[in-house]
Amino acid sequence: MGKYDDIIDLPHPTSTKHPRMSLLDRAAQFSPFAALTGHESAIAETARLTDKKPELDEDRKEELNLRLQILRKHISDKPEVSITYFVADTAKEGGAFLQATGFLKRLDDIERTLILQNGTIIPMDDIYEIEGSAFDPLKSDL
């Protein structure tokens, strides 16, 4: 005779006070516990690469200033320009280079911004490169 032979064939006990748990709730008891909530997103943020803002040498600064002066002279023509500029990251050190292409609306010397007709506002201090047909005479001088 086995140790549990006297109870093996008895019906499963059912509580009169507590309702039977659904299979979904019962399964939830055994689901994995996320002890490190947000850990994966923190790792992803750390792994996200940013660029370092470059320090422009004097020649580069002079070239950009020359191009800004040319744009000032041709502002009434609303020249099309393609500008590469640096945008600082809000979450960590560094940032990214973005490129905006559009027709120049205005140069704001007080705010030190360049404004395109599509509403893009670019800080002059963050500009890395300016291209456009307004600078074609510069290429022929080379």
Break the chain into its structural domains and give their ranges.
58-141
Across 44-58, 72-86, 101-115, least confident range? 44-58
Asked whether the CA dihedral 88, 92, 93, 97 is positive or negative, the reply is negative
Domain 58-141 of CATH type 2.30.30.100: yes
| Cβ-based burial of 114 (10 A; exposed 0-12, middle 13-18, buried ≥19) | buried
pLDDT band at residue 81 under the 50/70/90 scheme: very high
Residue 123: other Cβ atoms inside 10 A = 14
Share of the chain above pLDDT 90, in %: 44
| Cβ-based burial of 106 (10 A; exposed 0-12, middle 13-18, buried ≥19) | middle
Residue 119 DSSP label? S
pTM, full prediction? 0.64
Distance CA 138, CA 61 (A): 16
Distance CA 101, CA 82 (A): 4
Residue 127: other Cβ atoms inside 10 A = 18
